[in-house]
Each structure stands twice: as structure tokens, then as C-alpha cells.
Structure 1
Amino acid sequence: MPEVNFVDPRRKARMLTLQCLFGMDLRDWSQEIPLEWLIEDDPIPTGTKEFAQGLIQGVQEGLAQLDSVIHKYAPAWPIDQLSVVDRNVLRIALFELMFRKDTPRKSAVNEAVELAKAFGSESSSRFVNGVLGSIMLDLESGELVVDQPVYEGS
């Protein structure tokens, strides 16, 4: 029997989100164009596309706040000195941790670590895990308070 390469729809959406944010970060693309280019030859289910679009839009709209939190938890690494992959993996996960109540926090961290392993450097996954672990603890203890509306779904 042939091997089936199933990728969880949300993981696929996060991978597409990372690719889009990577492109936008480097080339200042609009948010719609790169996602459409990425799925042109590999159509994805509507729910996956909507989840990716929500992540892209959420990260873009909350960029200043997300980057401020990243800076607070990784002060030795100014945001512009982080690799493009690391900073965008952190942005995606942080958006989910802070604003998406439909994503379990541990899942957001685990998915970010997997993205960092797949697309980042040898040390990316450890760095991402350390930063997000600290953020997650402070969110759970109330040390870090979210002052924006929470996204309900897609």
C-alpha cells in the first residue's frame, strides 16, 4: 500500500502562513498575493485557507504588539536581528497564544517548535521553545495580560 503523507490542516495552514510572512517580511508583499501563489498549484480545503488567512491578518494587524512581547522575552535578540524564520514562527505562535482561544496553548508552542525544526536553523527550535515557554507561563500566571479581543475561530 502506498504511503500517504497526511499533514494536519492546521499545520498546513501554519506552514503556509510562515511562507507568506517570510515573503512579506523580505519583500513587503500584500497578504493576499503570496497565499494565492502558494496554493495555486496545490489547492487546499477552504477551512485551511481561512485559518491561514486569519493567522496572516492577525499577525499583520498585531505586529507591533507581538514584536514588543517578543522583545520583552528575548531582550538579547532585537527583532530585526532574529532570523526571518525565527521571528515569524514566534509571531504566529504568539498570536495564537494571546488571541486565539480555539488553539490550545501547548499546541501553539508545539507547532511553533515543529515549524522551527522544519524551516529554521539547528538552534531555532530550542530558542523558539524557550521564548514561548516563558511567555506561556506568564500568560497562565497572569503576569502577561492580553488587552486585545480574542479571536473565536477561523
Structure 2
Amino acid sequence: MTRFMTVDKELVKQKLRQEQQSWEEEQIASDCSEAPSLQIWTVGKLLRVIEASGSHHTLTQHLWLTGFLRFCDEDEEYDTLHLCDANTELKSFLLDPNPQLVDRLVLVKNWVLVDKAFRGVRTADSLFLEVQDEKPIMLQPPRELSLD
């Protein structure tokens, strides 16, 4: 059974607000009269929306993802990271995986969902997340984390 770290929800909310505010300020500074709408979802919500809509092509480009980065015990390749929440996991590829991010709650701002479904037949292995952030943002400092 997967064990996740407990997190300080207020600290995480504060960190997300700071990241969102910085992003909005950058958007306005780049000649946007108003910052576009930004959404922050868990990986589970992402997969539920894709399943309900039957497509990932309708997703907004201003969508950030949160989840725990961890190695999947059941995966034949033990070096594959997954972005997980309590009920869902999605295979994820990072450009430069940092060991400090493993088993940590992270925010992924820049990503691409790759769908290798053949003729519309989607399997657990046909979707994966390509993380394009140089380094996902840790939402809670390691010293603040404790095991359940």
C-alpha cells in the first residue's frame, strides 16, 4: 500500500497562491491586459476529466498539476516516476529528475500529456505526462513533511 507524506494544507495553499500571483504578474507584465484564467488540478482530476470527455484536446493551456512524485513499486522499470494522488497515478517523465522531489508534493506548471492510444483504445500505459519544467516546485519543505 502506498504511503504518502502528510502535508500542512495551509502552507500548501499559501505556496500555491504565491505561485499563482507571480504567474499573473508575469502575464500582465507581458502586455496582457488581464491574466488568463489559471486552473490547478490534481492528477486524479485530470484523468477523470479526460475519461469523461474522451479526449485531452479540450484541456486549457493554463492548467497546473499537483501530486506526489514517486516510483511505482509494481512497475517493471523501477526508475519510472509517477505523479500520484491518493487514488490515481500517471507515468511521468522529467527532463532532469531531482532525487529531493521523490515522495514529495509538487506543482508541475509546464507539461504535455502524451497519448499513445492506438485507434482510440486507451490503456493504462498509453498515457504519460512529459514534465517540461526544469524542476517541478516542491510545495512543502522537506523538514515540514512527516510520515502518516
Normalized against structure 1, the TM-score is what? 0.27
- Of structures 1 and 2, the one with the larger relative CO (CA 8 A, separation 6+) is 2
Higher helix share goes to which structure? Answer: 1
Larger strand percent:
2
**Larger of the two Rg values belongs to structure:** 2
